[in-house]
Amino acid sequence: MTVEFDEWEPVYEAIRSDFGYDRRADERARDRLLDRSSPFQDRRNGIDPGTTVAVAGAAPSLATEVAIERASSADSVVAASTAVDVLEENGVTVDWMVTDLDKNPDTVIELATRSTPVAVHAHGDNVDAIDDVVPACPQGSILPTTQVRPRGHVVNVGGFTDGDRAAFLADSFGADELVFVGWAFDDPSVDSVKARKLAWAERLLYWLERRRGDHFDVLDGRRETIDTDALPIE
């Protein structure tokens, strides 16, 4: 089910407050993405009601045999950022890429050129990347997304990091089951900012789980310690 902006906005404001993001900068980035992109040629590429969708994060565990097999067994695969490269190197075809263009722009262009949809996200500090990458993609191959109010053909599906936004995207298309591969909320190798982003990803997946009346095994053993104060749940 699609997250309406009025429902999402309080969550966005909590995230913005936590990280000190500038809403006006996010809106300028949204508008730049609007200008640089064209309307998405609506196709779900295998994410349909009744399907099982693998939502791939970029943790090291993604390259394990178990994770690759689990992704391969799903009806469709939505992958965050560099998770695309890992999966395809291991023989798993990705059906959707979700990215804010911070790591592998060549992969974005390659997938878009071969008609694999890419959800490209705009935020306050990736305007230069939008200018560099989006015009190089075929028209209609990019689904433009924002974390502020949607405008024109730029949509807001919910989600904050590439990984949890991939789950919200699959949910918005009516996926029946979401399975999670390549996820690690506790990564001692990341800096404090990334750790806080992972904490938000965890919160948002918990919110999505509750909205769906679902049970994500990636949250097993973690639900009791998730800070839910900023989430619109009862």
pLDDT average, residue stretch 45-68: 95
| Dist. CA 8–CA 134, nearest whole Å | 26
| Dist. CA 112–CA 134, nearest whole Å | 10
Beta bridge partners of residue 121, listed in sequence order: 145
DSSP symbol at 172: H
Q: Taking 90 as the threshold, does the pLDDT of residue 234 lie above it? A: no
CA atoms within 13 A on the CB side of 228: 14
Q: Taking 70 as the threshold, does the pLDDT of residue 148 lie above it? A: yes
| Dist. CA 135–CA 142, nearest whole Å | 10
Rounded to the nearest integer, the mean pLDDT of the chain is: 96
- Which segments within 94-227 are labelled E, that is strand? 96-99, 118-122, 142-146, 177-181
Q: Taking 90 as the threshold, does the pLDDT of residue 45 lie above it? A: no
User: Could you identify the residue written with the tokens 């995230």?
Assistant: 15
The C-alpha angle 190, 130, 37, rounded to 5 degrees, equals: 135
155 contacts 144 by C-beta, under 8 angstroms: yes
| Dist. CA 109–CA 138, nearest whole Å | 8
Beta bridge partners of residue 98, listed in sequence order: 80, 119
Lowest mean pLDDT: which of 24-28, 31-35, 43-47, 54-58?
Answer: 43-47
| Dist. CA 17–CA 151, nearest whole Å | 23
pLDDT average, residue stretch 205-223: 97
Question: Could you tell me the CA-to-CA distances from 60 to 2, 65, 81 in Å, in that order?
Answer: 30, 12, 13
Q: Which residues contact 229 (CB under 8 A, 6 or more apart)?
A: none
**Tens digit of each residue's pLDDT (9 = 90 or more) over 88-124:** 999 999 999 999 999 999 999 999 999 999 999 999 9
What band does 1 get if pLDDT is binned at 50, 70 and 90?
low
Which pLDDT score is estimated for 42? 76
Q: Taking 90 as the threshold, does the pLDDT of residue 188 lie above it? A: no
pTM, entire model: 0.96
